[in-house]
Structure 1
């Protein structure tokens, strides 16, 4: 027999791993191990905007108690114990938002149902109540769930919907009343009183109609983090329940009239945890109300409008794929994928609406039919990471919910501005991270395509609702660059001044060119060993960026800055830190600013555009 292999405990394994981590970190940071904390892995932790700490590794010591099976309180693993795994989540298609008449909407819905759509989201803003019957002709509402988006016209539209429901047949219809969350978006909406009346009518009808949608996406679109979105949505949901209780409904009846809508982002694990945590938090509310078995409200996931970009919009297809994955694995009952060009007014040039809609639909079908993601309920269940993240997100959401309750409830917090302030803090923090490029938006603040044709600037809305899009600040800079190109025949240009060989300057010339492109500015690189004075004179750009190694800066930096100034360059920037210049360098031979990974890129690029367009010819701190 061979020698026995010693069995290592989880604690021993963790200790060995920490020792290895300490060794790597000490080497990469060029420091002694003794300077590192006892738990060196904390240096690799990240923190979400909800204040949730994400560790670099999860193991048996992070194990959580196993949640109950799907369909059992608190519904973390799903609200439906009988969910058909051959169907998975419902593929919800959006219709009626493009100004089409009722007949065209009907044709498109029937075509969608024949090609993979399994749930309908109908906007009646154009067709009105009078077009509902025609739009739903041939639609089997006992098979295809329907959600209505009618805004202030909902009472009349609801009458029309009730008029076409099959008699004595169970359906899954949501009238989509969203007055409390519409108040955040500032869009026309139905009154709370009419909403309560519709909910009472729907409950009495007994065919499976829900009147109220708690739309958490409005908080997400305004900038909220995941836990904040859940907490605020739950606060709004409780406000609806209170209104229904005051109208004479029981807790069970009131809870049965609500469904939730949440945003799904390309942060797949956070999205998985978000939908699981949202069910846990709402189930707790139902438990406190005395009706725990009615705490499994349906969830409708919509891919985030805030994450969608106008620039390089094709990347949005990848973003929505990750979002669908997260929502589906997280247990959403229905998922809507926004078209990849939804952030572009009128859609992407030379792209038909039917193409964009087909891609949105097929994104889900590929995950369902080819990747079989719907075949297992809660496939992430048991993951040390996902379970820990679910608990932490639920706790963060509950903290937000409690703060709204302490403020007097949802409507009081809305009127006092508490909700707006809560979301605003997160929006500003995220914008700062994007501006400093701590958070990447591919194709926008990282790896932009400067040859991309100009786009029509947006007005800060998506589908008529205000959205704090992550890419907006950088895209506004790109729009400025495109406007200059249209006016002058060429876009703004800065000169790169490389020092040394290609191997020496390539990293920083690439960094500088990528940074400039994210602001709509072309970076001209003359190559190694160029005559900087001649190139600067020929280019005529008032801005140049010196690029090289720290050693080159110490040896040749001052002379390069002088040569550029002598050639008429008024602002010389450095790709790196000017502290690498000799200490005795006079001010005229020092750069006017540093371009490093930590700068506020939006602010700096805006300043450079001002210089290049003559808006700001004498910035503060520039030598005379």
Structure 2
């Protein structure tokens, strides 16, 4: 069947469009300079054209890209809570689950009373992800209160912990090996985590973020397999936790590229995963503003949409006031947490994005960007591996130097006029609330990689 009005609007190839562009730009220059001005020279090191056609897909490994993507729709709406008071936190958690949350992330202290905290919450039915400083002690407590199969896991990245605190990497890896062996009775409870948040918050590009995530995972797998854990078990126990920033299409493609590369990465282990790594995404705090904080609602919505369009399995939307001093915002905390939770619900229940597994599949632009990001990140990952892996490449100063340059480039772009809404333009200082310090008190020691927030220098 012929497309409607095909006789009036015949198909044209890309070269015809480019010719028309030159004409519209009133240029007869053979070097195509006016068209060059429309091309985006990204921080990732490649160029993005202003227009793509079906012809461009002919040059891509499209079947490989799409086969790597998420095959089932939907995600878990998973708010995160720092736990300071078990009784009040239990009420908050149960209320959250009644009002749209599907799972929970809990940041715990060593002294927390899990019996009181998790009262009425069944770990066999509700996925709960834990952040804790002593994972062995946490598992011992879980065994006492819930001796059945758990869902969720540990969001404890030993390499990120090393970079944040400067403490022993080997001790942290040994803890992960022990808890992975101890949690074999709960196949839905993941104990291995590689995260990109510290790279993202240090100012990395999307390419650097993916490459560093893969390199840090490779270092973990090397240690854990040497400790006697089979690679198939590790894959099934792995969570990849990723920050999602404000560059909508880049972030969408970043997650799709990550799925392509994790498949390529695992093929080098000659392993057929029984259960693929879980991808957890959280909205970025790197771009959040303390000035005019309600603008963070818009950032979080864009980031959350990019995350689900990119295929996340678990989504955490940070409250808009997450970067503010919490003691000054406690009165608004219930409101900001509810709004954050509802962003995910709106994307699922009103935008119907939970009905489609890979919404961006077939987009000429997104497919091309996915391929460009994947190849750029893979090349950097191989460079890191040739230097001896993540730990050696970081210790030599290579990784921190590359990320620092990327961060300074982002800062300079703002100084040169790139708009941070609510900070450098359209600003309204709402009250006297202060931002949190960039380095949280519990992490102060000898951080090896800085934790930045881009608007901070301009507020």
8 Å CA contact retained: 1:241, 1:255: no
8 Å CA contact retained: 2:235, 2:273: no
8 Å CA contact retained: 2:323, 2:435: no
Secondary structure in structure 1 of the residue aligned to 2:360: coil
8 Å CA contact retained: 2:254, 2:373: yes
Q: Displacement, 1:405?
A: 0.6
Q: Which residue of 2 aligns with 1:103?
A: 87
Give per-residue Cα distances to partners, 1:480-516, cap 9 Å, x unaligned: xxxxxxxxxxxxxxxxxxxxxxxxxxxxxxxxxxxxx
Q: Tell me how far apart the structure 2 counterparts of residues 160 and 187 of structure 1 sit (CA, whole Å).
A: 27
Give per-residue Cα distances to partners, 1:179-238, cap 9 Å, x unaligned: 112222237786211111112222x32442221211111100111111111110111111
Q: Which residue of 2 aligns with 1:148?
A: 130
Which protein is bigger by CA-based radius of gyration?
Answer: 1
Q: Which residue of 2 aligns with 1:459?
A: 437
- Which structure has more relative contact order (CA 8 Å, sep 6+)? It is 2
8 Å CA contact retained: 1:330, 1:380: yes
2:98 paired with 1:114: yes
Q: Displacement, 1:144?
A: 1.7
Q: Which residue of 1 aligns with 2:256?
A: 276
Q: Which residue of 2 aligns with 1:401?
A: 381
* TM-score, normalisation: structure 2: 0.90
- Name the CA shift for 1:216/1:21 in 2 (closer, same or farther; >3 Å): same
Unmatched 5+ stretches in structure 2: 444-449
- Name the CA shift for 1:164/1:382 in 2 (closer, same or farther; >3 Å): farther
Q: Which residue of 2 aligns with 1:172?
A: 151
8 Å CA contact retained: 1:260, 1:297: yes
- Name the CA shift for 1:163/1:207 in 2 (closer, same or farther; >3 Å): farther
8 Å CA contact retained: 1:121, 1:146: yes
Q: Which residue of 2 aligns with 1:440?
A: 419
Number of residue-to-residue matches in the alignment? 445
Q: Displacement, 1:281?
A: 0.9
2:214 paired with 1:234: yes
Secondary structure in structure 1 of the residue aligned to 2:191: strand
Q: Tell me how far apart the structure 1 counterparts of residues 96 and 147 of structure 2 sit (CA, whole Å).
A: 21
2:342 paired with 1:340: no
2:202 paired with 1:200: no
Q: Tell me how far apart the structure 1 counterparts of residues 330 and 115 of structure 2 sit (CA, whole Å).
A: 33
Matches within 5 A, 1:375-524: 375-437=355-417, 439-449=418-428, 452-461=430-439, 467-475=451-459
Q: Which residue of 2 aligns with 1:67?
A: 63
8 Å CA contact retained: 1:404, 1:410: yes
Q: Over aligned residue pairs, what C-alpha RMSD do you find?
A: 2.4
Of 184, 190, 213 in structure 1, the residue corresponding to residue 163 of structure 2 is 184
Q: Displacement, 1:458?
A: 4.2
2:248 paired with 1:264: no
8 Å CA contact retained: 1:273, 1:389: yes
Q: Displacement, 1:393?
A: 0.8
* TM-score, normalisation: structure 1: 0.67
8 Å CA contact retained: 1:173, 1:210: yes
Secondary structure in structure 1 of the residue aligned to 2:126: coil
Q: Which residue of 2 aligns with 1:50?
A: 44
8 Å CA contact retained: 2:321, 2:329: no
- Name the CA shift for 1:295/1:421 in 2 (closer, same or farther; >3 Å): farther
Secondary structure in structure 2 of the residue aligned to 1:118: coil
8 Å CA contact retained: 1:52, 1:392: yes
Q: Tell me how far apart the structure 1 counterparts of residues 296 and 375 of structure 2 sit (CA, whole Å).
A: 31
Q: Which residue of 2 aligns with 1:308?
A: 288
